[in-house]
């Protein structure tokens, strides 16, 4: 028998029973929806967790070896900056302050903020301004505000807006945009390094990180080794982002919880689709037996079942991904700082698990169909 004809028969058998076909689609779609939703939330968390690293954009970050995330800063001694600058292969090195403060707004409310202090001489790591002049950050009490999902928490300031930061006067001299918003739900301010350490209380040492630029990519390994001999760690931008991601994956409960929820979603989809598909095979067993009596070979029957399982899985996959993307878009309209993003990795993971569901479900049906003998169908 010709394969196209068999596939048409398989398709008609599949969609003929609307209730069974709908149950199959619902089971797989729901499983895909949950898998994509959970992994998208985790991907969003990982993306937001390294937002400062991405936004500053430095090629080399020098830090205390105990630092796991960009928010977990450990102050560095001042003499380390000179030591890094003297390392062969370092083009330049500048300090970066990263800390938190409390802003007292004009309406009397208070808002926690994240403050990044940039090197006064070079402003390495400065954001791209939408409004204002970057040179105004050197003016008295000058601060740049990032327009992101948390911007409204500062009551949507404009150029010239004044507020207090830790009982010091602060003036908005610029409004910037960045590639990624932060994870912890607080607005971000940029200012000079000297102003940051004078406005915000700190310990004996004030540098959070040292940002370095290698003279060439080949110099990175030597710089890392030299910094290591000083008792500190130097990481490239990609390495630091990976370290932050590993922290949230393995050292917090977030990664474990997401993995468990994804596994539960897989089990739900497998149980619903597997049971429903097996019931579908049993109800159409006579039809498969008749095809076998008419000369259909075992491999042709297997092809029919695989086609039915694959067609259902891909259709359910498309519906599930579409529902997840729609929900993320709708939630982001109401909650701008909602941390969820659909990535290629999420889609491939869900696609692989859907194919696994289809394979296991079809395997159960294949074994049952191959054992049937034509005379059993016509005996009655």
Domain boundary (197, 231, 265) is at: 231
- Residue 72: inside a domain: no
Indicate whether 247 belongs to any domain: no
Helices and strands (H, E) in the chain, number of each type: 12, 10
| Residue 62 counted as domain residue | no
Assigned domain for 332 exists: yes
Range of the domain at 202: 77-231
Residues 326/363, Cβ–Cβ less than 8 Å: no
| 86-131 pLDDT per residue, tens | 999 999 999 999 998 999 998 999 999 999 999 999 999 999 999 9
pLDDT on residue 113: 93
Distance CA(25)–CA(8), nearest Å, equals 19
How do residues 187-206 score in pLDDT, each as one tens digit? 999 999 999 999 987 778 88
Average pLDDT estimate for 284-312: 79
Q: Kindly state whether residues 92 and 212 are assigned to the same domain.
A: yes
What's the confidence (pLDDT) of residue 235? 95
Assess whether 161 and 209 both reside in one domain.
yes
pLDDT digits (tens, 9 = 90+) for 333-367: 888 778 788 889 889 988 888 888 888 877 877 77
Does pLDDT of 327 surpass 80? yes
Residue 379 has pLDDT above 60, yes or no: no
Report yes or no on 55 lying in a domain: no
Name the residue with higher pLDDT: 270 or 134.
134
CA dihedral 261, 267, 273, 277 (to 10 degrees): 170
Say if residue 274 is in the same domain as residue 143: no
Q: Could you read off the pLDDT of 148-168 as tens digits, one per residue?
A: 888 989 999 999 999 999 889
- Residues 269 and 219 grouped into a single domain: no
- For residue 199, being part of any structural domain is answered with yes
Average pLDDT estimate for 194-220: 91
Residue 239 lies in a domain: no
Same-domain check for residues 220 and 362 = no
Same domain, residue pair 153 and 269: no
Q: Which residue has the higher pLDDT, 124 or 332?
A: 124
Task: Indicate the number of domains in the chain.
Answer: 2
The pLDDT assigned to 375 comes to 59
pLDDT at 378 over 60: no
Write down the pLDDT at residue 169: 94
Do 182 and 82 lie in one domain? The reply is: yes
* Among 199, 178, 196, CA closest to 187: 178
* 209 and 257 both lie in a single domain: no
Residue 246 lies in a domain: no
* Same domain assignment for residues 188 and 93: yes
pLDDT score recorded for residue 96 = 95
204 shares a domain with 277: no
Percentage of residues in the chain with pLDDT exceeding 70? 97
Q: Are residues 107 and 8 in the same domain?
A: no
pTM over 0.75: yes
Mean of pLDDT over the chain: 86
Claim to verify: residue 136 and residue 276 sit in the same structural domain = no
């Amino acid at each position: 028998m010709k394969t196209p004809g068999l596939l048409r028969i398989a398709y008609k058998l599949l969609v003929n029973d609307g209730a069974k076909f709908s149950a199959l689609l619902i089971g797989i779609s729901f499983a895909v929806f949950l898998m994509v939703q959970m992994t998208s939330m985790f991907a969003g968390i990982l993306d937001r967790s390294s937002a400062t690293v991405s936004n500053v954009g430095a090629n080399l970050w020098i830090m205390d070896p105990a630092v796991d995330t960009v928010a977990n800063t450990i102050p560095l001694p001042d003499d380390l900056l000179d030591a890094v600058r003297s390392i062969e292969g370092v083009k330049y090195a500048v300090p970066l302050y990263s800390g938190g403060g409390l802003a007292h707004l004009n309406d009397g409310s208070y808002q926690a903020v994240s403050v990044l202090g940039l090197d006064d001489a070079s402003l390495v790591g400065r954001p791209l301004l939408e409004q204002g002049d970057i040179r105004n950050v050197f003016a008295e009490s000058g601060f740049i505000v990032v327009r992101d999902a948390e911007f409204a928490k500062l009551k949507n300031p404009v150029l010239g807006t004044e507020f207090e930061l830790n009982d010091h006067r602060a003036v908005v001299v610029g409004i910037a945009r960045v590639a990624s918003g932060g994870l912890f739900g607080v607005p971000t301010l940029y200012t000079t390094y000297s102003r940051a350490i004078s406005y915000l209380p700190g310990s004996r040492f004030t540098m959070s990180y040292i940002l370095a630029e290698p003279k060439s990519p080949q110099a990175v390994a030597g710089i890392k080794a030299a910094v290591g001999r000083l008792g500190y760690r130097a990481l490239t931008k990609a390495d630091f982002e990976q370290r932050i991601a590993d922290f949230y994956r393995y050292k917090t409960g977030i990664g474990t919880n997401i993995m468990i929820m994804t596994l539960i979603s897989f089990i739900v989809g497998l149980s619903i689709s597997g049971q429903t598909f097996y019931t579908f095979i049993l109800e159409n067993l006579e039809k498969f037996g008749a095809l076998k009596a008419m000369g259909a070979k075992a491999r042709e029957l297997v092809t029919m079942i695989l086609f039915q399982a694959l067609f259902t899985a891909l259709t359910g996959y498309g519906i599930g991904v579409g529902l997840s993307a729609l929900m993320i878009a709708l939630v982001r309209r109401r909650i701008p700082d909602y941390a969820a993003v659909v990535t290629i990795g999420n889609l491939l993971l869900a696609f692989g698990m859907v194919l696994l569901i289809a394979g296991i479900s079809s395997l159960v049906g294949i074994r049952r169909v191959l054992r049937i003998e034509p005379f059993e169908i016509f005996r009655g």
